């Protein structure tokens, strides 16, 4: 009897040991980005992850779904003057402009920046109910950092920001938009990696849709290969087609999907619900 009891206890301990019975995370098979006002819950619920512009008025806590996770858009390398935290941001931390998007570029090297970012950007979004964050503009430092030493300082600052987010909110899921240069140091803290314009792009400066040159695509695919094979992370591609161009949407989704990359094709302003691997070709407002 004692032997049997001990065996049961041993079995129970084995089942609860680290990782023994931890369910595997569901694969990220689809995602969407919607930056318009009043995000439409029903069409976005067709995706595993929906990234929302947090100033849209959307309340994720009011729309809990068992199959869709709401992620907040969060710019790291740039800030719009319209953002609520802009007034509190020390202006000596601003290093330049991105004229195409009317935004200011932030110097990531200031030691107080990671704590500021967590307190003023991520914490309010967490309190609002977001548990995932789409970290954008991770390479904006390249607009002003011209030397290897300058780039290294900026990358170190970005790494500190990512680690500060996970230290304050260990359960936060982070999707990088690019950020390839810092992945060797923080890939274990990342949920997925996205990039834009594998086949079809949006030229913000000239307000037009463009085809991506083969050389640019080859470089992105090399990055995707490393991310998938070395870091074992999902890779997401955000491409852009003109609203109503169903052939562009259909062909672009098919080509991206054939590469084993998760596709999302939408308009240049991300103001319509776009198309993923299993959503209808027609976009809806």
Its pTM stands at 0.88
Using the predicted structure, report yes or no on whether residue 20 has a pLDDT greater than 80.
Answer: no
Nearest to 34 by CA among 44, 20, 24, 25: 44
Beta bridge partners of 98: 103
Residue 234 tokens read as 């999902």
Using the predicted structure, report yes or no on whether residue 8 has a pLDDT greater than 60.
Answer: no
Percentage of the chain lying above the pLDDT 70 cut: 89
pLDDT in tens, 57-114: 899 988 888 889 999 999 999 999 999 999 999 999 999 999 999 999 999 999 999 9
pLDDT at res. 57: 87
pLDDT in tens, 109-128: 999 999 999 999 999 999 99
Nearest to 53 by CA among 27, 26, 81, 83: 83
Beta bridge partners of 238: 196, 264
pLDDT at res. 118: 98
Q: What is the DSSP letter of 108?
A: T
Are 242 and 274 contacting, i.e. CB atoms less than 8 angstroms apart? no
Q: Which domains does the chain have, with CATH numbers?
A: 37-266 (3.20.20.70)
- The angle at the Cα of 206, spanning 216 to 282, to the nearest 5 degrees, equals 75
How far is the C-alpha of 111 from the C-alpha of 114, rounded, in Å?
Answer: 7
pLDDT at res. 85: 96
Are 267 and 284 contacting, i.e. CB atoms less than 8 angstroms apart? no
How far is the C-alpha of 212 from the C-alpha of 220, rounded, in Å?
Answer: 11
Q: What is the DSSP letter of 82?
A: T
Confidence band for 26, pLDDT divided at 50, 70 and 90? low
Average pLDDT over residues 145-168: 98
Residue 39 tokens read as 């995000």
Kindly report the average pLDDT of the chain as a whole number: 90
Nearest to 264 by CA among 44, 38, 40: 44
Average pLDDT over residues 212-232: 97
pLDDT at res. 62: 86
Beta bridge partners of 74: 135
pLDDT in tens, 158-198: 999 999 999 999 999 999 999 999 999 999 999 999 999 99
Percentage of the chain lying above the pLDDT 90 cut: 84
How far is the C-alpha of 108 from the C-alpha of 144, rounded, in Å?
Answer: 11
């Amino acid at each position: 009897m004692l032997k049997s009891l001990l065996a049961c206890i041993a079995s129970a301990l084995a089942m609860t040991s680290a990782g023994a019975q931890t369910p595997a995370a569901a694969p990220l098979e689809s995602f969407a980005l919607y930056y318009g006002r009043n995000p439409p819950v029903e069409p976005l619920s067709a995706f595993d992850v929906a990234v929302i512009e947090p100033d849209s008025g959307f309340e994720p806590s009011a729309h809990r779904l068992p199959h869709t996770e709401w992620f907040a858009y969060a710019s790291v390398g740039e800030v719009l003057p319209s953002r609520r935290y802009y007034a509190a941001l020390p202006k000596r931390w601003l290093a330049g402009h991105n004229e195409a998007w009317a935004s200011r570029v932030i110097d990531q090297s200031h030691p107080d920046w990671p704590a500021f970012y967590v307190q003023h950007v991520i914490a309010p979004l967490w309190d609002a109910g977001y548990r995932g964050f789409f970290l954008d503009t991770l390479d904006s430092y390249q607009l002003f950092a011209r030397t290897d030493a300058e780039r290294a300082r900026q990358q170190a600052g970005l790494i500190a920001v990512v680690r500060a987010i996970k230290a304050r909110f260990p359960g936060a899921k982070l999707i990088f938009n690019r950020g390839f240069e810092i992945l060797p140091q923080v890939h274990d803290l990342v949920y997925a990696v996205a990039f834009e314009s594998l086949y079809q792009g949006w030229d913000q400066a000239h307000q037009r849709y463009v085809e991506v040159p083969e050389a640019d695509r080859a470089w992105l695919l090399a990055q995707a290969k490393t991310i998938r094979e070395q870091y074992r992370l999902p890779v997401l591609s955000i491409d852009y087609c003109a609203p109503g161009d169903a052939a562009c949407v259909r062909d672009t989704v098919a080509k991206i999907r054939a590469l084993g990359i998760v596709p999302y094709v939408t308009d240049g302003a991300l103001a319509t619900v776009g198309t993923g691997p299993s959503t209808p070709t027609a976009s809806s407002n």
